[in-house]
Amino acid sequence: MAKVKRSYTKTPMKEQAPEVRCHNFEEVALGYSLEEGQLEASRCLQCKNAPCIENCPVMIDIPGFIKAIEEGDMPRAYEVLGRYTNLPAICGRVCPQEKQCEMVCRLGRSKKFEPVAIGKLERLVADWALDQPIEYKEVVGDKGKVAIIGSGPSGLTAAGDLAKLGYEVIVYEALHAPGGVLTYGIPEFRLPKKVVNNEIERIKAQGVTIETNVVVGKTITMDEILEEFDACYLSVGAGAPNFQGIKGTSLKGVYSSSEYLTRINLMHGYQFPKYDTPVQESKNVVVIGGGNVAMDAARSAKRLGAENVSIVYRRSLAELPAREEEYHHSVEEGINYHWLTNPIEYVGDEEGRLVAVKCIQMELGEPDDSGRRRPVAIPGSEFIIEADTAIEAIGQGANKVLLDTFPELALNKWGYIDASEETCATSIPGVYAGGDIVTGAATVILAMGAGKIAANEIDNYVQNKKLQEQPV
Ligand code: FAD
Ligand code: SF4
């Protein structure tokens, strides 16, 4: 048999040039053409016992959908993906593939070769599907009635799977638009809202109802939910912002990343005055943190016209938790980095406006509980960064609105819901929970993985309950 000559590197994906894209909110990566996708798909070794499947939290048949792309059969590729995920266009764009499927790809194990670009191929198939008509299911399932609280990736996944299993599903969402962080957190230039909306529409087409502007715990109570439904899934995320609590946090110009990004994404702040939710015009912006959220806030500030945008991170590049791709994009767009630096005070003027961030230099000490070396302040190394806007992106915690009205539910020591990793079961029968509200801030694909587990467990629970209730 003739030997196939594989390219050592991934087929590159076209992108908007940095000097152009840092002035607009259009998507940065432009996607593969079918020919580029087929070329990339031909690099896959079609491994038996493929490790990429094992390392995917929703266990997608990766060689299966890649083979279909190679053969130019997009309907089959989409059908294979659809067996495992309700949100392929989203995962193809924002999943940390470099730490999951692509990290263990057998092709990438050889020093000469980069792994197959699995995420980019997933996006190609999902984008092909965006242009296909949506088929709406006419009859709602009658196996039982399930409530999903929160419409982020975890809730949407559970909802889609339960509808496919034959349930009537109602999703309650506190905000005026569904999607959770996909809609209010991740900016348009990484995840266009039309992509999110299209995948949500396909989930609704399975017979799922989504009711927005319903805050469970306020608009309706958990008692009412438990009364009306056979089971429920709590996927309310971890959206409450954390602040460092340093002096000057209440100055005008100091934002949490949640507020800053929500104003831009959900409230279209970048389209002011068309939408009446402006964010302050800034010249010098300091973003505190090193995750994807910090990158998103910094790159959004740049696009809104800030001249100098700096990220202040208390560890070094080696420990940066953000996706590598996002870091590289941010550097290309002119974001500056202050490594091993921590802010210690926000400095204001007489009118209570932020004028500078006082920082201190750090060094790495002994490893902490997370195994990473703990940053330690170097005495006498304080310095000032001029800033009219500071955005704290140092993590989020559990939103208490629902939890405070449902004291029967057991929480763990961090204030998240205490639920089993294997079954998503909580301390209350029929109440399941998963995603960020159980794990703390994590990733889209882990939240989806929990949603899939929950859907199967809820199915078992409801069917067993119905069997037990049958007269003997
Ligand atoms: P969420 O997405 O937070 O959704 C929870 C939903 O529940 C929200 O819509 C909320 O309004 C609703 N809700 C809350 N309380 C109630 C209530 N009482 N009643 C009704 N509804 C309620 N992950 C990645 O994998 N890749 C990335 O690139 C990435 N980038 C990110 C960028 C940003 C800015 C942020 C903030 C996060 C990012 N993440 C990323 C993390 C990822 O988005 C989350 O891990 C994921 O969205 C968690 O999903 P979830 O469904 O558990 O919760
Ligand atoms: Fe293809 Fe890599 Fe998966 Fe093997 S491990 S099937 S080469 S994507």
- pLDDT for the residue numbered 310: 97
- CA atoms 131, 132, 136, 142: torsion sign: negative
pLDDT digits (tens, 9 = 90+) for 359-368: 999 999 888 8
Q: What SS3 state is found at 286? A: strand
Q: Place 4 in a pLDDT band, splitting at 50, 70 and 90.
A: low
Contact at 8 Å (CB) between 117 and 95?
no
Q: Report the number of secondary-structure helices (H) and strands (E) in the chain.
A: 18, 16
- In this prediction, residues 15-35 reach a mean pLDDT of 95
Q: Place 267 in a pLDDT band, splitting at 50, 70 and 90.
A: confident
> Measuring CA to CA, how many Å separate 229 from each of 88, 116, 222?
29, 44, 10
**pLDDT over threshold 90, residue 279:** no
Contact at 8 Å (CB) between 233 and 459?
no
- In this prediction, residues 373-395 reach a mean pLDDT of 95
Lowest mean pLDDT among 31-40, 314-323, 378-387, 452-461: 314-323
Residue 211's DSSP bridge partners are: 172
What is the whole-number distance in angstroms between the Cα of residue 50 and the centre of ligand 2?
A: 6
∠ CA 228-233-236 to the nearest 5 degrees?
115
> Ligand 2, from 70, 98, 103, 105: best to mutate by most atoms within 8 Å of Cβ?
105
Listed residue (385, 340, 392, 336) closest to 361, CA to CA: 340
Q: Place 5 in a pLDDT band, splitting at 50, 70 and 90.
A: confident
- In this prediction, residues 117-145 reach a mean pLDDT of 93
Q: Place 3 in a pLDDT band, splitting at 50, 70 and 90.
A: low
**pLDDT over threshold 60, residue 2:** no
What is the whole-number distance in angstroms between the Cα of residue 416 and the centre of ligand 1?
A: 14
Residue nearest to atom 2 of ligand 2 (CA): 105
pLDDT digits (tens, 9 = 90+) for 26-55: 999 999 999 999 999 999 999 999 999 999
- Euclidean distance between CA atoms 156 and 280, whole angstroms: 33
Residue 308's DSSP bridge partners are: 284
Q: Is the minimum distance from the CB of 74 to ligand 2 under 6 angstroms?
A: no
**pLDDT over threshold 90, residue 405:** yes
The mean pLDDT value of the chain amounts to: 94
What is the whole-number distance in angstroms between the Cα of residue 393 and the centre of ligand 1?
A: 14
Query: What backbone torsions phi and psi does residue 279 show, to the nearest 5 degrees?
Result: -110, 150
Residue 148, H or E segment: strand 145-149
Q: Place 309 in a pLDDT band, splitting at 50, 70 and 90.
A: very high
Stated pTM of the model: 0.93
Atom of ligand 1 nearest to the CA of 396: 36
Q: Which amino acid is at 162?
A: L
What is the whole-number distance in angstroms between the Cα of residue 181 and the centre of ligand 1?
A: 4
Listed residue (409, 197, 203, 184) closest to 300, CA to CA: 184
pLDDT digits (tens, 9 = 90+) for 195-237: 999 999 999 999 999 999 999 999 999 999 999 999 999 999 9
Q: Place 266 in a pLDDT band, splitting at 50, 70 and 90.
A: confident
- Euclidean distance between CA atoms 426 and 134, whole angstroms: 35
Residue 309's DSSP bridge partners are: 285
Contact at 8 Å (CB) between 235 and 210?
no
The tokens of 357 are what?
A: 């961030």
Residue 232, H or E segment: strand 231-234
> Measuring CA to CA, how many Å separate 161 from each of 227, 443, 444, 457?
23, 19, 16, 11
What is the whole-number distance in angstroms between the Cα of residue 238 and the centre of ligand 1?
A: 7
- Euclidean distance between CA atoms 437 and 406, whole angstroms: 14
Residue 226's DSSP bridge partners are: none
What is the whole-number distance in angstroms between the Cα of residue 141 and the centre of ligand 1?
A: 27
> Ligand 2, from 7, 48, 52, 60: best to mutate by most atoms within 8 Å of Cβ?
52
Percent of the chain with pLDDT over 70: 98
**pLDDT over threshold 80, residue 339:** yes
- In this prediction, residues 124-142 reach a mean pLDDT of 90
**pLDDT over threshold 80, residue 277:** no
- In this prediction, residues 313-322 reach a mean pLDDT of 92
Query: What backbone torsions phi and psi does residue 187 show, to the nearest 5 degrees?
Result: -70, 160
Q: Please name the residues in contact with 439: beta carbons below 8 A apart, sequence gap of 6 or more.
A: 416, 446, 450
Cβ count within 10 A of residue 236: 29
- In this prediction, residues 247-266 reach a mean pLDDT of 93
pLDDT digits (tens, 9 = 90+) for 63-113: 999 999 999 999 999 999 999 999 999 999 999 999 999 999 999 998 899
Residue nearest to atom 1 of ligand 2 (CA): 44
Q: What SS3 state is found at 316? A: coil
Residue 172's DSSP bridge partners are: 149, 211
**pLDDT over threshold 90, residue 472:** no
Q: Is the minimum distance from the CB of 121 to ligand 2 under 6 angstroms?
A: no
Q: How far apart are the first and last CA of the chain?
A: 65
Residue nearest to atom 26 of ligand 1 (CA): 94
Residue nearest to atom 41 of ligand 1 (CA): 443
